[in-house]
Structure 1
């Protein structure tokens, strides 16, 4: 795996920097009356099959050919904010207060064998996000849906549990689901990198690059409904209060990432990976 670092360069008048100052995370060098300002941004070297970085409103995919859309965008204000750990940009979503007007991002399954259905039971998924109020959904009696592809007790989802405020990866079997849970109690206004993996036998969940839960699950049944949505920052219920907060990145791989790959990914988003 080749590691790369990409920086963003901006030409700024010297007089502007003399007035407002220039401090971390910028470095500068002078040339005539301008300074070349180098701003470090989050970049990743582990290529996903599908990825959106949320560095712009309605941005195109970084990887893959799936279009990402926003439901009820006119009811839910979106603005650009500083990304995870002050690297790059992220998209902040302020949810409507009206039931039925809650928004979410989504892409669509193109067929009954769509790759994101994980018909072979092999998939990895990631979301880098923060919630303005991690307790809000539990107050409403709801889990916070982060990533979801379900229909009639089939498919998968990643949530924040309404009872524990811990992340969970749920795999459905046609009549219910089995979950693997993280151990971190998530906090408000705090960035997290959540990764869930499945190899058709073991389901795992990682928080900020560290493995926190493993569960053997052998009865997974995929959602193969053509035209169904794959949700990011929300869920399938119209009464579901979706993520009120920010998303930096969402990505899917059609294989099972290793612990080292997941740790590297977290570090590239600025997280310090500390094994317990």
Structure 2
């Protein structure tokens, strides 16, 4: 995702809101038997489709100046984009929704969403994946029959930006874009990632956690697995180094296929000459994100989240570290914290590995990367929540 530092504005309107890794963990919780790759949750016919409100002659959601022109319900993180036109300006507003219905009938059910901070719901029915009926809405102004957008209209909607907001979102000190191939280009900080084994591992642009065409999808080969890497020169000469051990790291990603349950999935691996680097993995037994901070003696402190990954669904992970404590957040919510009594990441000759690791044999990321960012400070809970919301995640 190419960050625009935009978030949701409050609009008084009729709007549906809607590696082979054998280290010994110091105090980390245990796991169980490796799970089977789960299938995705049911996707209802109302989801992942542009519903073109301008294709209907019925009265549609509007306020004093703006008129809603389309809905897009994203099944991945239950993010709803409502597209508006206000004079010569077009924009969308993001919000959340929930959906219920029968697994055996994805064409109908009930949508629950927010309307001006008031709960609302509509019955929906989709015919041939082409026609959407919203009926029995608690706000009758939302009742409508609308139609699937043409491919030309879809492309028009994908170019419409999000509505700007006055909500503060902290900017990263280093950030990398994954909305163009091969991915890993710096948008802040001026340090591009390189790609290893690019020719063996196909990549394509796919929708990100929130933004259309905002992520790079990686398909790993069976023999030469690919990853991103970035050399760091050391504490005396490189601005990517955080010699006081204070930093925050953000990753927005999804796993499409867990390739080898005999290994942890390495997402980020920061190695250095002092053995004081850190990494972010998916634990092979529990499917939980876990950060590991090395102390320089061959041991590490692990902080493990409580929310497991879901195959095919995006996740926002934020790690915050200083010399006394490390925390891990998932989708904007603080899940686990642990005390530290050493200065991590002294960083003498680091290498950053992304979507893989320095000791990975064949369990690199097969999935998509939306965003990677680093901060030269420990973000507060409010700042982490705001960053997660930037990508469409709502904290608990």
TM range (shorter): 0.7 to 0.9
Query: Structure 2 vs 1, CA of residues 88 and 74 (structure 1 numbering), >3 Å: closer, same or farther?
Result: closer
Q: Among 324, 328, 335, which residue is 1:205 paired with?
A: 328
Structure 2 counterpart of 1:269: 391
CA RMSD of aligned residues (A): 2.9
The yes-or-no answer on 1:234 pairing with 2:356 is yes
Name the SS for the 2:278 alignment partner: strand
Normalising by structure 2, report the TM-score.
0.58
Runs of at least 5 residues in structure 2 that lack an aligned partner in the other structure: 9-53, 56-68, 73-80, 89-151
The two structures have a TM-score, normalised by structure 1, of 0.81
Residues 229/42 of structure 1: CA separation in 2 closer, same or farther (3 Å cut): farther
Q: Distance in 2 between matches of 1:199 and 1:128?
A: 22
The partner residue of 2:219 within 85, 89, 94 is: 94
Following TM superposition, by how much is the alpha carbon of 1:194 offset from its aligned partner in structure 2, in angstroms?
0.4
Give the whole-Å Cα distance in 2 for the aligned partners of 1:42 and 1:148. 36
Count how many residue pairs are aligned between Structure 1 and Structure 2: 253
Q: 1:223 to 1:241 in 2, by over 3 A?
A: farther
- Of 131, 139, 146 in structure 1, the residue corresponding to residue 255 of structure 2 is 131
Task: Answer yes or no: is the 8 Å Cα contact 2:176–2:192 preserved in 1.
Answer: no
Indicate whether 1:162 and 2:287 are aligned.
no
Aligned residue in 1 for 2:303: 180
Q: For 1:202 and 1:238, how far apart are their aligned partners in 2?
A: 27
Q: Distance between the aligned counterparts of 1:96 and 1:251, measured in 2?
A: 27
Report SS of the residue matched to 1:262.
Answer: helix
Larger radius of gyration: 2
CA distance in 1 between counterparts of 2:212 and 2:176 reads: 16
Q: 1:57 aligns with which of 159, 163, 181?
A: 181
Matched-pair contact (CA < 8 Å) for 2:272–2:351 = no
Match of 1:12 in 2: none
Q: Is the 8 A contact 1:102 1:238 kept in 2?
A: no
For residue 52 of structure 1, report the CA deviation from its aligned partner: 0.7
Q: Once superposed, which parts of structure 1, at least 4 consecutive aligned residues long, lie more than 6 Å away?
A: none
SS in 1 for 2:187: coil
Q: Does 1:121 align with 2:245?
A: yes
Other structure's SS at 2:243 match: coil
Instruction: Note the C-alpha offset of 1:65.
Output: 1.6
Q: Is the 8 A contact 1:41 1:87 kept in 2?
A: no
Q: Does 1:73 align with 2:194?
A: no
> Which secondary structure state, in structure 2, belongs to the residue aligned with residue 61 of structure 1?
strand
Distance 1:240 1:198 in 2: 28
Higher relative contact order (CA 8 A, sep 6+): 1
Q: Given that residues 41 and 88 in structure 1 are in contact (C-alpha distance below 8 angstroms), is that contact kept between their aligned partners in structure 2?
A: no
Equivalent residue for 1:105?
228
